[in-house]
């Protein structure tokens, strides 16, 4: 992948956020125990993590990389950070402690974690850098008094173009001005995406220098990338096609789902394919709910490892942005509406959330419904017997589930 080949090796080789990079470099070089921690804030993909990695490398520091979404409690933080905070090597070399996604510290499980971090900043013998995607979260507000803020934003389009030209020069390819600017605009500040678009265009038509306007049209770009994924010769090609896809994770899941449902795959393959898409959807849900943005890196991997082997050679095509046929849509809506209704009633009785009920409990509850007595008791408990409409839908759903 060109995005790996041309990955920056020093902080000066990054683009965008020049002032923040400079200030962060100065902060690190003048750091002494008691100095405030650095807090890098900005949307995913703006170079926060890369910048910290490169700074540690440039300063010969050992990077202790922790993700606050994984290490959420005070005890766990103390265990993982404690030693790193207190230790300086015999030769006076320091470690750089990097706590990523601190805005992911939320909820009851994290009680004490924010206070622990604030205390740690005062006592640490090594510099602490934190990163957050959402500067307005409560956790960030609580941490702000112990931190020096650095805001990271996407680089402006002209700088992305400069970097793309540098990549094109390194690869010895000529790209038309309009085409290059099309990639810059489509990538919307995401340098990796811009490089992937450039690489995708070259692999789609080797030797063809100026493929002007190929990616200008977003639909056309989506169609090429998704059909490239479905028709890829191997996993590597499938991954390159997905990375060239200029879509949000939600759109990616939606378009893949749409294409699979309309594909006419045999039922067992269709089930496997939809299972893979559903896993990706669950991953996005988890990512959004807990602010675990690092999970985004696994999204394409799920599609390549789980979906691609199922659809490979099965003549699945991108179905376009048109809607699914009405009968299919109606079935999807109705099924989800029924499940939601039953889940909410169940959740109220089981003292759990509707989402937990839907994703964790309901499959088992439906399985238990094969026993008549259990089913009758459940229907009574959820007041389904007093609501003929819901009961009828629920009955149909259970019959369908049993048949499946």
Partner 1 sequence: MEKKRVVVGGWFDLPRLGPEVWSTLVRKQGVVYDKSTGFKFDAGTDLQGAVRTLRSAGVEVELTLKCWICGKMACPGCPYLSSCDRASVSGFCLCADHSPEKSVWGAYTRRFDVDLKS
Which of 83, 166, 275, 385 is close enough to bind partner 1 by CB under 8 A? 166
Which of 67, 134, 149, 211 is close enough to bind partner 1 by CB under 8 A? 149
Which of 44, 157, 290, 354 is close enough to bind partner 1 by CB under 8 A? 157
Q: Residues 96-135: x/- map of binding to partner 1 (CB under 8 A)?
A: ---------------------------------------x
CB of 76 to partner 1, least distance (A): 31
Judged by CB under 8 A, the chain residues 18 through 57 that form the site for partner 1 are 18-23, 25-26
Nearest alpha carbon to residue 152 among 36, 294, 49, 59? 49
Considering CB under 8 A, how many residues would be counted as binding partner 1? 38
Closer residue to partner 1 in complex, CB, 38/310: 38
Closer residue to partner 1 in complex, CB, 112/156: 156
Instruction: State yes or no: residue 179 binds partner 1 (CB under 8 A).
Output: no
- List strands edge to edge, sheet with 147-151: 62-67, 95-100, 128-132, 37-41, 147-151
Instruction: State yes or no: residue 175 binds partner 1 (CB under 8 A).
Output: no
Angle 140-141-146 from CA coordinates, rounded to 5°? 80
CB of 12 to partner 1, least distance (A): 4
Phi, psi of 67, rounded to the nearest 5 degrees: -110, 120
Number of neighbouring beta carbons within 10 Å of residue 236: 11
CA 145 – CA 281 distance, rounded (Å):
37
CA 349 – CA 48 distance, rounded (Å):
45
CB of 201 to partner 1, least distance (A): 18
* Residue burial 173-210, b: 16+ Cβ < 10 Å; e: rest: bebeeebbbbbbbbbebbbbbbbbbbbbbbebeeeeee
Give the C-alpha distances (Å, rounded to integers) separating 175 from 179, 188, 198, 345, 403: 7, 19, 9, 59, 56
Q: Residues 303-322: x/- map of binding to partner 1 (CB under 8 A)?
A: --------------------
Instruction: State yes or no: residue 235 binds partner 1 (CB under 8 A).
Output: no
CA 269 – CA 286 distance, rounded (Å):
26
Which of 123, 177, 208, 323 is close enough to bind partner 1 by CB under 8 A? 177
Judged by CB under 8 A, the chain residues 186 through 205 that form the site for partner 1 are 189
Instruction: State yes or no: residue 156 binds partner 1 (CB under 8 A).
Output: yes
Closer residue to partner 1 in complex, CB, 103/161: 161
Judged by CB under 8 A, the chain residues 258 through 297 that form the site for partner 1 are none
Candidates 67-75, 113-121, 181-189, 271-279; binding stretch for partner 1 (CB under 8 A): 181-189
Which of 74, 80, 151, 262 is close enough to bind partner 1 by CB under 8 A? 151
DSSP secondary-structure letter at 303?
A: I
Query: Residue 195 is inside which H or E element, if any?
Result: helix 191-204
Instruction: State yes or no: residue 58 binds partner 1 (CB under 8 A).
Output: no
**End-to-end CA gap in the chain:** 42
Tokens of 208: 């063809």
Which spans of this chain sit near partner 1 (rule: CB under 8 A)?
11-13, 15-23, 25-26, 135, 149-159, 161-166, 169, 177, 181, 184-185, 189
């Amino acid at each position: 992948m060109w995005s790996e080949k041309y990955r920056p090796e020093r902080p000066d080789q990054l683009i965008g956020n020049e002032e923040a990079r400079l200030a962060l470099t100065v902060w690190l070089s003048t750091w002494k125990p008691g100095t405030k921690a650095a807090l890098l804030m900005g949307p995913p993909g703006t170079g926060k993590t890369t910048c910290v990695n490169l700074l540690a490398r440039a300063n010969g520091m050992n990077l202790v990389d922790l993700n606050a979404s994984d290490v959420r409690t005070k005890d766990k933080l103390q265990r993982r950070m404690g030693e790193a905070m207190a230790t300086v090597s015999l030769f006076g070399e320091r470690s750089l402690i990097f706590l990523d996604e601190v805005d992911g510290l939320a909820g009851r499980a994290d009680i004490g974690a924010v206070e622990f971090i604030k205390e740690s900043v005062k006592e640490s013998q090594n510099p602490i850098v934190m990163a957050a995607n959402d500067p307005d979260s409560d956790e960030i507000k609580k941490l702000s008094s112990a931190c020096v803020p650095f805001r990271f934003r996407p680089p402006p389009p002209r700088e992305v173009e400069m970097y793309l030209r540098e990549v094109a020069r390194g690869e010895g390819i000529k790209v038309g001005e309009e085409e290059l600017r099309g990639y810059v605009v489509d990538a919307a500040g995401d340098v990796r995406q811009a490089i992937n678009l450039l690489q995708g265009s070259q692999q789609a038509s080797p030797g063809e220098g100026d493929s002007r306007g190929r990616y200008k049209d977003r639909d056309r770009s989506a169609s090429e990338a998704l059909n490239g994924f479905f028709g890829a010769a191997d996993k590597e090609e499938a991954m390159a096609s997905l990375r060239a896809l200029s879509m949000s994770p939600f759109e990616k899941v939606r378009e893949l789902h749409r294409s699979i449902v309309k594909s006419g795959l045999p039922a067992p393959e269709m089930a496997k394919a939809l299972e893979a898409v559903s896993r990706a959807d669950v991953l996005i849900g988890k990512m959004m709910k807990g602010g675990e943005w690092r999970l985004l890196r696994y999204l394409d991997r799920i599609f390549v490892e789980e979906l691609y082997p199922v659809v490979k050679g099965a003549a699945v095509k991108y179905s376009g942005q048109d809607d699914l046929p009405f009968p299919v849509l109606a079935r999807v809506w109705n099924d989800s509406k029924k499940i939601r209704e039953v889940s909410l009633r169940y959740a109220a009785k089981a003292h759990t959330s509707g989402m937990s009920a839907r994703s964790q409990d309901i499959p088992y509850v439906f399985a238990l419904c094969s026993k008549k007595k259990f089913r009758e008791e459940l229907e009574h408990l959820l007041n389904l017997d007093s609501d003929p409409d819901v009961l009828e839908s629920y009955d149909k759903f259970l019959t369908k589930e049993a048949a499946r």
